[in-house]
Structure 1
Amino acid sequence: MTARRGGWVLAARIARRELRAGMGGFRILIACLALGVGAISGVGALSQSLLGGIHDNAQVLLGGDVDIATRYALPSPAQTAWIDRRARARATTVQMRAMAQTESRRTLVELKAVDRAYPMTGTLVLAPAMTATDALRPKHGIYGAAVDAGLLTRLGVQIGDKITIGDATFQIRAAITNEPDRIASVFSLGPRVMISEGALPETALIQPGSQVTYHTRVLLPPRTDATAWAAALKAAFPSAGWRVHGPDDAAPGVQRFLQRMTLFLNFVGLTALLVGGIGVLSGTQSYLESKVATIATLKSIGAPSTLIFRIYVVQIGVLAGIGILIGLVLGAGAPPLMIELFRGALPTAPRIGLYGGPLATGAAFGALTALTFALWPLARAREIPPASLFRDVIVPTSVRPKGIFLGLIALCALALGGLVVLTSPEPHFAYWFVAVSAAVFAILRLCAWAVMAAATRIGASPGVNAALPTMARMAIANIYRPGAPTTRVVLSLGLGLSVLVAVVLIQGNIAHQIGTRLPDEAPAFFFIDIQPDQIAAFDKTVLSIPGAHDLQQVPTLRGRIVKINGVAVEKARVSPDVLWAVQGDRALTYAAQPAPGTKITAGQWWPPDYKGPPLISLDSAIARGFGIGVGDTLTLNILGRDVRARIAALREIDWRTLRFDFAIIFAPGVLENAPQTYIAALKIPPSGETAVERAVGDAFTNISTIRVREALQAADKILSSIASAVRAVAAITLLSGILVLGGTVAAQHQRRVYDGVIFKVLGATRRQLLGAFVLEFGVLGVVTGVIAAVVGGAAAWAVIRFLMHGDWVFLPQGVLGAVIASIAITIGAGFAATWSALGEKAAPYLRNE
């Protein structure tokens, strides 16, 4: 045991002395690790900061300690009495969509009616400054309204002007600067209009079946546990059909969005770290090549291979630690910087702090990556005999590490993959990431081997070789010669470009879907809250507009899935890609016959005159995610009543087309007598849209009109913001690849000088040498760009087709951009590294030799 410790002490002493000479080729290693670790820890810390801010401000966001959301009606008197006995304060708000209009303009708004207790938490800030009571109370017989500033622009009105909502007229008294309990939504269809609860009946908007959400906000006695209180409420009224939000899910939509974004950005950051791993491999290998004389000398005077291994393990460990530490500093500093840049777009004030979890995760990934990629060159140097070490730069010795080191490398790689799965909130996607990463590495390595094999074949062919110019022959020889950088260039730059190509193509396909295909296939309008007795008049009104066609309308109400095949949704196993189906209410309808174009994939539709136990037709994708099929059951809470229905048929639904469809369709006999409204869809050329909106608004004040074009534009704006964040992280991957490329080329400096001297002695001019080197890197750039385009394009195709279930469109501009970027980067790096080598005089090197 003493000897072993002494061996490490001696190794550390020698390593320290060598490190005094400087970090040399390890700057690239440090930079690559710093970038990867910084990306992973920074994304994680930013997510924790935002989620922590939501949790810290949960009471303000909820409007109380607990928020009880119900559809169609407020809690019953018995339920309200239960709440009041166990709470110190209660407030009610009512939210729905409605149309706000002036004489010439109209727009969809998010209407919110508040009572006198509003706001119980936080501060409502209005401009001009006034209280909610002053802003909303009636004056001269007209109620007031507070609105988002964006509504003023949309309707072309000012403070003091009047707008109509439903059957009521309101005076705009103030603009909303801060709405404390507005739980931020990733997607909104209109600006906020806030009115008094007393004014809501005058609008005549609330009718049987209207799409209304009632929020009962509760303040609890001091030291009362909100989670336990909510659990007691659910236990007291198990079939109430409400959604209860506590501090842990104050903004569920935003939290889910942040978690998904964090997941994806983490995967891109991990890819950057994997590219950095190639930098570790390249840097370690280049450094050991520069220490050939030292290693050979140590071995010649009796130093055991174990000591050599330990010396350089210590050095790599110290330098990797520096890179990881820099990455952690970058990761810890990223959240405050990003928060300051995007403060106005954040749902709430983030929690600024040092987050140990993400930093520890980043450090673990960095350490495992460094160990995995550094072990091969370290173990290989350990096994090479002293005499071979002197020749290894010119004629590499085919020595492989011992089996124990190969096993250790494999174990580290498995640990790296395991860490990806363990730290991912969705292991399903993590498994795919690990598998795809391994496949891409293998493909790029195979492509590099194929490039070298092709160059070897060309170089060995006398006929082809003789037909090529001298510069071309030199360039081809440099691609396959011993120690050629081909493999590392293809791996590092190819992986970085592949990620960027994939991101660009995925974003391009989504934008193409939204910008071209959807407007052609989607209806121009959706209409909601149509009362059953308005259907005939509504149909006549919209179809009287020239160009209006393909009108569809169906009855609808809402329900929540509470059990899957008899198992409560909280305990059921649900695939991540269909979690949305059990998170909140679902729109329901009923039909005697399937709609035209319905694709039934399993089971069969019920007879038109069916009378019997409840049956449903379910989206086949949801069924797969739930692990159920025909004959199984779903239990839905509809208006406070649990309805258990058997699955009679599964349907394939293409949601991307915005086709008028429902995930769950009931057979007749269950929902007809429940309070309900109709929704409708209409197609019309853009020239007729204003006429339709005006006709419906004038005739039916309770019907809300949604312009699909505006909804698509809002979705496109969100996707553009997401794409910017993703591209920024993807650029880190490419930057890592460029660093590895630069390090690889820089490590070849001495060899370039040696080659240049030899060729100059043989009569080659500087122009010929420069042409040969530029051609070499140009060929590598073209090959790497094409490989990256194919690999990145294949990855994007798989994501669009199998994860997003979309139609793939090839976008050549993104692929062409990758190829051009690859050529420019490789030629630029090659030129920068070889220009100085070409200027070296031959005489000093010849005298040295």
Structure 2
Amino acid sequence: MRAFRFNALPFGLRFALRDLLGDPRGFAIFIACIVIGVAAISGVSGLSRSLEQGLAREGRTILGGDASFSLVARELSPEQRAFFAARGRLSEIALMRAMARRDDGEAAMVEIKAVDPATYPAFGAVALDPALPLPEALAEKDGAFGIAVDPILLARLDIKLGDPLMIGAARVTPRVKLESEPDKLAGGVGFGPRVMMSRAALAATGLVTPGSVVRHVARVTLNGNVSDEAVKAFAQSADAAFPQAGWEARRRDAVSPQFSRNLERFTQLLTLVALTALVAGGAGVANAVQGFVERKRMQFAILKALGATGSRVFAIALAQVMAAAAFAILLGLAVGALIPWAASEALRQAADLPVSAALDARGAFYGALYGLLVTLIFALPPLGRAHEIPVAALLRDDPRAARLWRYRAGAALAAIALGALVMLSSSDLKLGAYYVATSVAAFALLRGAAWITMRVARALPRPRDARLRLALANIWRPKSLTPALVVSIGLTQTLLIALALVEGAIHNELERADAGEIPNFFFIDAPKTQARAFNDFLAEQVPGAKIEHVPMMRGRIVEVKGVPVERITVVDDVKWALEGDRGVTFSATVPANSQLVAGEWWAADYDGPPLVSLEQRIAEGLGLSLGDEIKVNVLGRETVARVASLRKVDWRSYGINFVMVFSPNTFAKAPYMELFTIAYGAPTVAARDATDAKLAREAAKRFPMIVSVRVKEALAAVDKIAGQLALAARAAAGLAIVTAVLALASAVASGQRARLHDAVVLKTLGATRRWLATAYGLEFGVVGLVASLIALAAGTGAAYAMVTLLMKIDFAFSVTAALATTAATLAVTIGLGLAGTWRVLSRRPGPELREL
């Protein structure tokens, strides 16, 4: 193979590379902005891919077998159990919520996992402290079953290992701490600490009664070393053999579809935040390229004077910029490739997630493409000056001589391609479309605000204070920093305000709980035979409280208009309604917190074919209208019901709400439990907490089978999860801050030449360094304030849409968060602006005048 000859390259490319290698000044910020954005995008994608591979690799361990089949309120039939046992090894567990209480009545909700200690776990290992064998830890001794407990329960009830507890009608003894369980991820998110017990202990509690909300999960490990295709075929054969089973089936290659979908959505969200960081750094790219053209102005003029065409000069400049961009993209991909390895151990320790660090070619491709398109969007307009400006204009530094429309058109095409790429790579098309529309609107708004600011500054009467006059002149003069500053500050602050307000809205839900605006407690699994007695008990404990209760069962939709749900396509917003079992009820009247929007409610004494009222948004997402039929499986029995009405449900009330409400005759004879809510206020938070504690304690004493769920604690659990997700979002947003700061620094640097001339002349006329610093501080303060006001409006709008449309909770504007973010932005803008111009302020007039 012949050695590479540099001289064999075309002249334009050879000249460009030699010039770039000989004088790479000014590209540091350019490269940093691209590296940060590309690394973030490819790194987030790589980390998501590593999680997916970890789930796939550990699927058998997480699921507890090759396939699992879960049923609510019922176990496998003998025929189903025989079917599974004939094809592999069968193990079963039961999951339910209950109350664990001390002898003095102090109680806490727990998440029970009942297992067969002899066969559990089928894969992996349970970590216990002290390290006892699981059969020994859960065995019955001295009339009490042993249990393994989450250490949180010990702290919550202020007990230690060996202290007795009551769960239902059984006395149990916490013998070991439950440090980890291999199949924890498959169980989903719980709102109480885990308690692991034997299935015999669960039977002794008396909690499992007809209609109680207990999930029975059967795990099957197939004989031999079977492939994923064989496992899929087995699951399909089980569905075909028992078409009316109504179970939720999972396979080892799809352990938790909901977790995978949430991971996909959160990955996309972080990718969009990282893309925002890349775009925010685009101003730094533009400023760096503009500074590059300024530095090479004389060289370009000489090339044109020697006969080089505008196209040749433009090609040379473009080659240098793209060479720097290629280096930055490669460096960004290298850094991004390291992120999964750097974060994998932290994720394993913090969230017990199975991460299998690996390279992600798809993420690297998209990261590189994003970096290339952003470079073209922000580099083409300033590069156009090298082509369009004639020799004389280059020598005179006349910016008005350029006709940049063709390069702006090229940048616009690159922006369209970027938007198309976002849509193409988006797992949630609606979210991608929102992002593109919001980004275009934000850019248009910020650029429009910059233009208006410049026009207003020019039109204002000349102030008497010379410092203010200089500040206003700097805002509107040619090559002003105003557009770059407004865009960089505005994009970053919009993102920060949106994140702060979303977090504030989540925290506000907890404050609503303290204020008594939402129910204090949900009480589940109340036997219908005890409904009246429990209602009287609640009224006695908290006189004047608002008490509601309805029948509740669990069921799942299996057919929509005669088509199995597996074969229909639904929008992402309503997929959750088809995932597993949902709560269903029946009622003679329209439920509270619901408003009838279509159809009519049935008569109280209706006794015809089953009817159902659906939540409007779910019905529309499933393509259902009045008169259509759906088939539901409730307690193993399939029922076909006709859609009689549609309701708009106020989910933000946290009251008793259901997607499906049936006519009373549909399930009048079915076994069911009652669901209660109670809401009350208190003069102080302390008094409210005392009432909550007393009610939970007395309910656990007198009705040990009924589970009390304190809404505030459930919201706190959700708030904790949201806080962890917000931490990741803030980390990605931090990258946007870094790139925005770099863009601001490059903007200040690109304007130093003009400021140097001004400072020299003004110092010659008697201006002091303090006088100039005040003038520049006023300039940056005014521009920063304008950008902050625009960002405040845009960020508030984005947060409102996310909170009300996506999260379905009340929006609360946080004045503190908005003011703090705005004040910090102004301080950083003014500080960075003055720091960037310090070199100008420190120059002595004499030497500079000799060079003018």
Q: Give the distance between the partners of 1:434 and 1:6, measured in 2 at CA.
A: 44
Q: Does 1:400 align with 2:400?
A: no
Aligned to 1:57: 58
1:410-809 superposed matches below 5 A = 410-458=412-460, 464-465=461-462, 467-516=463-512, 519-547=515-543, 549-596=545-592, 598-684=594-680, 685=682, 686=688, 687-809=690-812
**Take 2:335 and 2:416, find their aligned partners in 1: how far apart are those partners?**
27
What are the Cα deviations for residues 779-821 of structure 1, in whole angstroms up to 9, with x where unaligned? 1122222222122122222323333344332222222123212
Contact in 2 for aligned 1:531/1:677 (Cα 8 Å): yes
SS of the residue aligned with 2:472? helix
Contact 1:784 1:822 (C-alpha < 8 Å) held by counterparts: no
Measured after TM superposition, the shift of residue 6 of structure 1 is 10
Deviation of the 1:569 alpha carbon: 2.3
Relative to structure 1, the CA distance from residue 349 to residue 734 in structure 2 (aligned partners, 3 Å threshold; closer, same or farther) is same
Q: CA deviation at 1:33?
A: 0.8
- Answer whether contact 1:496 1:735 (CA < 8 A) is retained: no
Residue 654 (structure 1) shift: 1.6
Equivalent position of 2:95 in the other structure: 95
Which residue number corresponds to residue 461 of structure 1?
none
1:836, 1:377 → 2: CA distance? 25
Q: Deviations over 1:460-508 (max 9, x none)?
A: xxxx31x420111111111111111110110112111111111111211
Conservation of the 8 A alpha-carbon contact between 2:590 and 2:596: no
SS at match of 1:108: strand
How far residue 186 of structure 1 moved from its aligned partner, in angstroms, is 6.0
**Which stretch shifts more, 449-458 or 258-267?**
258-267
- How much does 1:398 deviate? 4.2
The answer to whether 1:172 aligns with 2:174 is yes
* Deviation for aligned residue 1:429: 0.9
Change (3 A) 1:77 1:432: same
Aligned residue type for 1:82: F
Could you tell me which runs of 5 or more consecutive residues in structure 2 were left unpaired when the two chains were aligned.
1-5, 683-687
Find out whether 1:122 has 2:124 as its counterpart.
yes
User: Partner amino acid for 1:29?
Assistant: F
Q: Deviations over 1:187-209 (max 9, x none)?
A: 32111111111222211111110
Quick check: 1:147–1:176 contact (8 Å CA) kept in 2?
A: yes
What does residue 80 of structure 1 align with?
81
CA distance in 2, matches of 1:764, 1:153: 68
* Partners of 1:438 and 1:342 in 2: CA distance: 35
What is the deviation of 1:448? 0.2
Distance 1:52 1:428, change over 3 A: same
Structure 1 position 433, deviation (Å): 0.7
CA contact (8 A) 1:70 1:243 kept: yes
User: In the alignment, is the contact (CA less than 8 A) between 2:449 and 2:786 conserved in 1?
Assistant: no
Deviation, structure 1 residue 641: 3.0
CA distance in 2, matches of 1:22, 1:221: 68
Q: CA deviation at 1:257?
A: 2.9
**1:420/1:382 CA distance change after superposition, 3 Å:** same
Moved more, 326-335 or 417-426: 326-335
Q: Distance in 2 between matches of 1:16 and 1:282?
A: 21
| 1:48 Cα offset (Å) | 1.6
State the partner residue of 2:110.
Answer: 109
Most deviating of 519-528 and 800-809: 800-809
Corresponding residue for residue 199 of structure 1: 201
Q: Is the 8 A contact 1:184 1:347 kept in 2?
A: no
SS in 2 for 1:521: coil
SS in structure 1 opposite 2:172?
Answer: strand
- CA shift, 1:18, in A, is 1.2
Distance in 1, Cα, partners of 2:819 & 2:691: 40
User: 2:694 & 2:764 partners in 1: Cα distance?
Assistant: 84
Over 3 Å counting, the alpha-carbon distance change for 1:546 and 1:793 in structure 2 is: closer
User: Is the contact made by 2:63 and 2:186 (CA closer than 8 Å) also made in structure 1?
Assistant: no
Instruction: Say which is worse superposed, 483-492 or 342-351, in terms of deviation.
Output: 342-351
Given that residues 614 and 643 in structure 2 are in contact (C-alpha distance below 8 angstroms), is that contact kept between their aligned partners in structure 1? yes
Shift of 1:378: 2.2
Letter in 2 for 1:298: L
Write the deviation string for residues 55-94 of structure 1: whole angstroms up to 9, x where unpaired. 211111111111111112222111111111211x111111
Q: Secondary structure at the match of 1:562?
A: strand
Tell me, in whole angstroms, the C-alpha distance in 2 between the residues paired with 1:50 and 1:346. Answer: 12
Q: Does 1:391 align with 2:396?
A: yes
Deviates more, 1:587-596 or 1:765-774: 765-774
Q: C-alpha distance in 2, partners of 1:569/1:373?
A: 47
CA distance in 2, matches of 1:379, 1:632: 61
Take 2:376 and 2:284, find their aligned partners in 1: how far apart are those partners? 12
Counterpart secondary structure, 2:401: coil
Deviates most, 470-479 or 730-739: 730-739
Moved over 4 A (4+): 5-8
**1:246 partnered with 2:251:** yes
In 2, distance between residues paired with 1:30 and 1:305?
26
Q: 1:698 to 1:808 in 2, by over 3 A?
A: closer
Give the aligned partner of residue 834 of structure 1. Answer: 837
| Separation (CA, whole Å) in 2 of partners of 1:325 and 1:147 | 49
CA distance in 2, matches of 1:824, 1:597: 47
CA contact (8 A) 2:475 2:481 kept: yes
Q: Is the 8 A contact 1:518 1:657 kept in 2?
A: no
- Counterparts of 1:245-264 in structure 2 under 5 Å? 245-264=250-269
Instruction: Assess if the C-alpha contact under 8 Å between 2:347 and 2:355 holds in 1.
Output: no
The CA deviation at 1:395 is: 4.3
**Residue identity in the other structure for 1:296:** A
CA shift for structure 1 position 262: 1.3
Preserved contact between residue 163 and residue 170 of structure 1 (Cα < 8 Å): yes
- Partner residue of 1:147 out of 141, 146, 149: 149
Residues 1:288 and 2:327 aligned together = no
5+ long unaligned stretches in structure 1: 459-463
- Deviation of 1:437 after TM superposition, in Å, equals 0.5
Distance 1:183 1:407, change over 3 A: same
8 Å Cα contact 1:8-1:310 kept in structure 2: no
Q: SS at 2:559's partner residue?
A: strand
Return the letter of the residue paired with 2:403. Answer: V
State the identity as a percent: 39
Q: Which residue of 1 aligns with 2:49?
A: 48
Distance in 2 between residues matched to 1:582 and 1:516, nearest whole Å: 30
Match of 1:235 in 2: 240
Cα 1:805–1:114 change in 2 (3 A) is closer
Shift of 1:183: 2.4
Amino acid of the structure 2 residue aligned with 1:792 = G
Q: TM-score by structure 2 length?
A: 0.95
When residues 698 and 833 of structure 1 are mapped into structure 2, their CA distance, relative to the original with a 3 A threshold, is closer
For 1:308, the equivalent position in structure 2 comes to 313
- Deviation string 1:153-186 (CA, Å, 9 cap, x unpaired) is 1222222222111111112221112212222566
Q: Is the 8 A contact 1:166 1:204 kept in 2?
A: yes
Q: Residue 552 of structure 1: CA displacement?
A: 1.2
Aligned counterpart for 2:137 among listed residues 135, 138, 155: 135
Instruction: Flag the 1:7–1:614 CA change in 2: closer, same or farther, 3 A.
Output: farther
Question: CA offsets per residue over residues 256-275 of structure 1, 9 Å max, x none?
Answer: 33222212111111111111
1:202-221 matches, within 5 Å, as 202-221=204-223
Q: Distance in 1 between matches of 2:235 and 2:424?
A: 31
Q: 1:46 to 1:30 in 2, by over 3 A?
A: same
Partner of 2:18 in structure 1? Answer: 17
Report the CA distance between 1:8 and its aligned residue: 6.8
> 1:644 deviation in Å?
2.2
Distance change (3 Å), C-alpha of 1:427 and 1:78: same
Distance 1:548 1:397 in 2: 80
Instruction: Work out the CA distance in 1 between the residues paired with 2:216 and 2:186.
Output: 17
Letter in 1 for 2:109: L
Q: Aligned-residue CA RMSD in angstroms?
A: 2.0
Aligned AA for 2:310?
S
